[in-house]
Amino acid sequence: MYRFIVILLSLVPLSELRADGYPFDPTTQEIVGANLRLPLTDPQQIEVASLGHITFTDEQLGWLRSIYVKIPPRLRVIAATYNDNLEEGRGPNSVDCIWINPTEVAITLRKKWGNKEFNFDVGFEDISKAVDMNVDFADIRIAPSGSFYHRGIEITSEKAFELIKAAKPLEGTSATEVASILVTLPPPFRSQDEDELAKNKKVTDTFTDLVKYGEIMKIGVHSIW
């Protein structure tokens, strides 16, 4: 059975949310403004880590639609470890789903809901569609456990390094343009549990290793949602 849903209110009113990016600080992974926290089921944890999407359970959707009547059953999840501070492509009254803990996402709350019109980011149901449309998405995703995913499929560390080595500059860019690989990092565990702290360190060390290898191969390795 689904455990609980907690509403957290920050001291910053929603009217003061930044207009130049997503409403969170990528350094602290803290959300700015009111938000609804949803604990993730085991399948959802894998879905978020591997694809950057969440499919809500019927119970979660029931809670959410009591607030946002038209919220879709599946949303793109933005990892709270990176923020480009850009509003491009985001419409007014955007509702965000943010990965702020390995086992938890936050749904941002607007001042008014119900039948009011909101914008929800559903992403792409098929990653190949994102590729065809040349939409930026992570080439490599690192799970909270330290495992790797590429386009929704778990891969070995060797394969992750192969992806970096094989990276090419985007088509149409200059010959001097450096190729790059985009990596999504998970939010860290926030407890002082030794196992979870070890997992946090593994993720950090893993990303550092990818960056160093990229430098050797003259490939840029950058974090992304």
* pLDDT at residue 7, as a whole number: 46
pLDDT at 17 over 80: no
* DSSP assigned state of 114: B
Residue pLDDT, tens place only, 148-169: 999 899 999 999 999 999 998 8
Residue pLDDT, tens place only, 45-93: 999 999 999 999 999 999 999 999 999 999 999 999 998 766 655 677 8
Do the domain assignments include residue 1? Answer: no
| Secondary element (H or E) of residue 201 | helix 194-217
Nearest in space to 152 (alpha carbons), one of 46, 43, 40: 46
Do the domain assignments include residue 161? Answer: yes
| Secondary element (H or E) of residue 8 | strand 6-8
For residues 175 and 150, state if they share a domain: yes
pLDDT at 115 over 80: no
* pLDDT at residue 171, as a whole number: 67
For residues 210 and 152, state if they share a domain: yes
Between these two residues, 130 and 210, which has the higher pLDDT value?
Answer: 210
For residues 152 and 93, state if they share a domain: no
Question: Which of 94, 120, 146 corresponds to the end of one domain?
Answer: 120
For residues 206 and 173, state if they share a domain: yes
Q: How confident is the model at residue 138 (pLDDT cuts 50, 70, 90)?
A: confident
Among 70-79, 101-110, 132-141, 181-190, the least confident range = 132-141
For residues 131 and 114, state if they share a domain: no
Strand partners, 182: 222
Do the domain assignments include residue 72? Answer: yes
Look at the chain and report how many structural domains it folds into: 2
Do the domain assignments include residue 77? Answer: yes
Residue pLDDT, tens place only, 173-219: 565 678 999 999 999 999 999 999 999 999 999 999 999 999 999 99
Q: Which domain holds residue 194?
A: 127-224
For residues 99 and 145, state if they share a domain: no
